[in-house]
Amino acid sequence: MNFHVPANKIKNGNAVIAVKSASGVIMWSWHLWFDHSDALSTIQCVNKQGDRYNFSKNILGFTMSNWEATSYDKPRKVRVKIEQEIANNSVKKFSYITIVQNHGSNKEFTSTLYQFGRKDAFPGAVTTYGGSIVEQGGNNMSISNGIQNPEKFYTEGSSWTDVYFKYNLWSMENTSLAYNGNNVVKTIYDPSPVGFRMPGRLAFTGFTTTGESSFNVAEFNVSGDWEKGWNFNTNATASTATIFFPAIGSRTANAGGIYGKYNRGYYWSAIPTYESSSSCLDFTNRDIKPYNVLNSVLGGSVRPVAE
């Protein structure tokens, strides 16, 4: 299969293409992601356990429609002294004024979203161009149905636990639901690009100072204020750099619609927690949960790590 896109037509965005059988059945599909050449550069993060993860610079399928920000991320201050030119009884009165210039940004973005264990990319925006998806695909999830219907967002129901549930959909050698930092072995259902894989369950524990869920801002391992996401410190103990995790939101498990955009971020790990739920980084501007347990049917973000 060959196709060509002229250089002047390429834009930051996503597309899904598929190959069909002679009878029109989809045999396999691929997600195409068009981004800047450094999108798969890596940023090393150290979790609370001291393990190192080389996350991709951008989350999978990330697209920007607007990204404006000041060159500084904390308020700038200048102190001005005002003094009389002519003294009164040999004394010049004076006063100080402090001028504060706040930092700011205007960020508009989205990304592709994924149901746990599926390779299939769903748009993180309501509007799509040149294609469409089925938001309510029904309670009919299976490996074969997922492959043959990459446009269908299968909603929650017994098929996810009775038919689809497997320990190793995103980590080939996984046989456990335990909270551990075991190595992840990539599968064909992993949506990550070549050279990357899904992160392990403990990959995000460095994003709080305790390594656990927190509602206490003092325990958030972040730099700066909430900006439709967090700039997490890359080191669990003494940060010198940051990595931005945008609050993309999700597609809901019961209806497949967009929820929580710019208010909440969900980032899958490779490991299920129960038959109906899996582990992910879950955060808002008020809380950070490094390995929360959420419904596997939910459409969440993916931030791959280098193999």
pLDDT in tens, 293-305: 999 999 999 999 9
Does residue 250 lie in a domain region? yes
Does residue 17 lie in a domain region? no
Torsion of CA 299, 296, 254, 145, to 10 degrees: 80
Evaluate whether 14 touches 30 at the Cβ level (below 8 Å): no
For the ranges 66-75, 96-105, 126-135, 190-199, the lowest mean pLDDT is seen at: 66-75
Query: Nearest Cα to 98, choosing from 81, 85, 123, 114?
Result: 81
Give the percent of the chain with pLDDT over 70: 95
Chain Cα centroid distance, residue 189: 18
Does residue 196 lie in a domain region? yes
Phi, psi of 17 (to 5 degrees): -120, 155
Residues 6+ apart with CB under 8 A from 183: 173, 200
Does residue 77 lie in a domain region? no
Query: Nearest Cα to 251, choosing from 173, 174, 154, 159?
Result: 154
Query: What number is the average pLDDT over the span 45-53?
Result: 95
Does residue 173 lie in a domain region? yes
Does residue 40 lie in a domain region? yes
Chain Cα centroid distance, residue 104: 22
Query: What number is the average pLDDT over the span 82-91?
Result: 83
Query: What number is the average pLDDT over the span 144-155?
Result: 97
Query: What number is the average pLDDT over the span 241-270?
Result: 96
Does residue 22 lie in a domain region? no
Structural domains counted in the chain: 1
**Enclosing domain of residue 254:** 36-62+111-306
**Helix/strand/coil (H/E/C) assignment for every residue in 35-97:** CCCCCCCEEEEECCCCCEEEEECCCCCCEEEEEEECCCCCCEEEEEEEECCCCECCECCEEEE
For 260, left (φ over 0), alpha (ψ -120 to 50), or beta? left
Higher pLDDT, 129 or 263: 263
For the ranges 57-66, 72-81, 183-192, 279-288, the lowest mean pLDDT is seen at: 72-81
Q: What is the pLDDT of residue 16?
A: 94
What is each CA distance from 147 to 57, 118, 264, in whole angstroms? 28, 9, 29
Does residue 12 lie in a domain region? no
Query: Nearest Cα to 56, choosing from 156, 185, 199?
Result: 199
Run of H or E including 147:
helix 143-148
Q: In terms of DSSP bridges, do strands 229-233 and 242-246 run parallel, antiparallel, or are they unpaired?
A: antiparallel
Q: What is the pTM of this model?
A: 0.86
Q: What is the pLDDT of residue 1?
A: 62
Q: What is the pLDDT of residue 102?
A: 66
